[in-house]
């Protein structure tokens, strides 16, 4: 029986993106799971940076750099997945009906779906982080989360200020991107129009906006040089919230998501509307756990980030 024939209709795997990184992530798994240890060692060799030292000891300023944070999160999320499959034994754990990743996490989802080899994912994410960092230096900007306003209101604010919606996390949690002055004006307008909370994000650029345009060409070249296979599990795309099932569609998605918004709310609605009621989040933090619950309160969500949480997930979903 192939993986595709053994999909569990009620389960989805999800993978976090940049912002979930924290010093110490992956350390428990590294010392307690041979499979996770192998993933982290191989990723360090592929990156040619002291990855384990940065993960376990920091400093956070270095770990938070886009060029480091992105491959580091990929590595730890893949380590979490490897540990889960190892603990689950010969069947490799519950096979999901869908996989999805938030921004950077889309690359981890591609590996989980069998569409991208881990080494190629590391190479692409390393290039992505470098290109996005360079784009941020060429066209500086920032990002901020707006809570308590609907998408239509935020879109109106963006039109008035020259900013862009860059992520729709839930009905009332929307991230905008833009040049610093334009972003400040947008946040003032959001406050005046009733936003419950404004949070400036600690990122180095205006990701998922037109300010990332300088990264597109280099990313397109890197993606075209990579072997992307037909996925064994449908991947729900960031830019559309709909499944990707062909290599060409995946390649186009990875280019488009640099400058287009992450439609996470739409993705979760599609997945739950397709019969999924249980989500496994592989990676540090509980960002996606919280966002899934905001969209679907009835969903069961398990975050797998260390040995304890991994074993609890294996026991809960036989």
* Residue 92 confidence (pLDDT): 67
* Residue 5 confidence (pLDDT): 44
* Residue 204 confidence (pLDDT): 86
- Using CA atoms, how far apart are residues 274 and 134, in angstroms rounded to an integer? 39
Catalytic residue among 33, 67, 103, 267: 103
* Residue 66 confidence (pLDDT): 85
The structural domains of the chain, ordered by start, are: 4-137+209-316 (3.40.366.10), 141-200 (3.30.70.250)
Cβ atoms of 101 and 109 within 8 Å: the answer is yes
* Residue 1 confidence (pLDDT): 29
Cβ atoms of 236 and 272 within 8 Å: the answer is no
Of 65, 68, 35, 33, nearest to 52 by C-alpha is: 68
Query: Is 156 known to be catalytic?
Result: no
Write the DSSP symbol of residue 210. Answer: G
Cβ atoms of 302 and 313 within 8 Å: the answer is yes
**Residues with Cβ within 8 Å of residue 8, at least 6 apart in sequence:** 94, 95, 96, 97
N- to C-terminal Cα separation, the chain: 18
**Residues with Cβ within 8 Å of residue 58, at least 6 apart in sequence:** 23
User: Degrees (nearest 5) of the Cα angle 201, 135, 116?
Assistant: 85
Query: Is 265 known to be catalytic?
Result: no
- Using CA atoms, how far apart are residues 126 and 46, in angstroms rounded to an integer? 10
pLDDT per residue of the chain (318 residues) written in tens, 0 to 9: 233 444 577 999 999 998 889 999 999 999 999 999 999 999 999 888 999 999 999 999 999 888 899 999 999 999 999 999 999 886 667 789 999 999 999 999 999 999 999 999 999 999 999 999 999 999 999 999 999 999 999 999 999 999 999 999 999 999 999 999 999 999 999 999 999 999 999 888 999 999 999 999 999 999 999 999 999 999 999 999 999 989 999 999 999 999 999 999 999 999 999 999 999 999 998 999 999 999 999 999 999 999 999 999 999 886
The dihedral sign for the CA sequence 50, 52, 53, 57: positive
- Using CA atoms, how far apart are residues 257 and 7, in angstroms rounded to an integer? 27
Catalytic residue among 77, 208, 209, 265: 208
- Using CA atoms, how far apart are residues 286 and 289, in angstroms rounded to an integer? 5
Estimate the crossing angle of helix 180-192 against helix 151-161, to 10 degrees: 140
- Using CA atoms, how far apart are residues 161 and 300, in angstroms rounded to an integer? 39
Of 81, 136, 126, nearest to 104 by C-alpha is: 126
Strand, helix or coil for residue 177: strand
* Residue 242 confidence (pLDDT): 98
């Amino acid at each position: 029986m192939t993986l595709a024939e053994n999909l569990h209709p009620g389960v989805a795997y999800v993978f976090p993106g940049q912002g979930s990184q924290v010093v110490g992530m992956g350390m428990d798994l590294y010392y307690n799971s041979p499979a996770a240890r192998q993933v982290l060692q191989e990723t360090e060799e592929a990156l040619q940076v002291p990855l384990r030292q940065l993960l376990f000891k920091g400093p956070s300023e270095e770990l938070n750099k886009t060029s480091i944070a992105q491959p580091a999160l990929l590595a730890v999320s893949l380590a979490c997945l490897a540990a889960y499959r190892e603990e689950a034994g010969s069947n490799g754990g519950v096979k999901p009906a869908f996989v999805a990743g938030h921004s950077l996490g889309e690359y981890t989802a591609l590996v989980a779906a069998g569409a991208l080899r881990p080494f190629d994912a590391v190479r692409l994410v390393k290039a992505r982080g470098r290109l996005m960092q360079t784009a941020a230096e060429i066209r500086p900007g920032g990002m901020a989360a707006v809570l308590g306003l609907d998408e239509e209101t935020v879109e109106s604010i963006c039109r008035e200020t020259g900013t862009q919606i860059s992520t729709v996390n839930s009905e009332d949690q929307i991230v905008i991107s833009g040049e610093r002055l334009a972003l400040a004006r947008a946040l003032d307008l959001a406050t005046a129009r009733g936003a419950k909370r404004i949070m400036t994000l600690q990122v180095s650029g205006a990701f998922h906006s037109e300010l990332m345009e300088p990264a597109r060409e280099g990313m397109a070249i890197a993606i075209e040089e990579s072997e992307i296979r037909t996925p064994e599990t449908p991947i729900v795309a960031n830019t559309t919230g709909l499944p990707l099932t062909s290599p060409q569609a995946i390649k186009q998605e990875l280019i488009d998501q640099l400058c287009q918004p992450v439609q996470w709310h739409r993705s979760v609605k599609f997945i739950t509307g397709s019969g999924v009621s249980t989500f496994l989040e592989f990676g540090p933090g509980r960002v996606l756990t919280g966002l899934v619950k905001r969209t679907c309160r009835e969903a069961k969500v398990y975050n797998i980030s260390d040995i304890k949480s991994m074993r609890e997930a294996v026991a809960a979903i036989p």
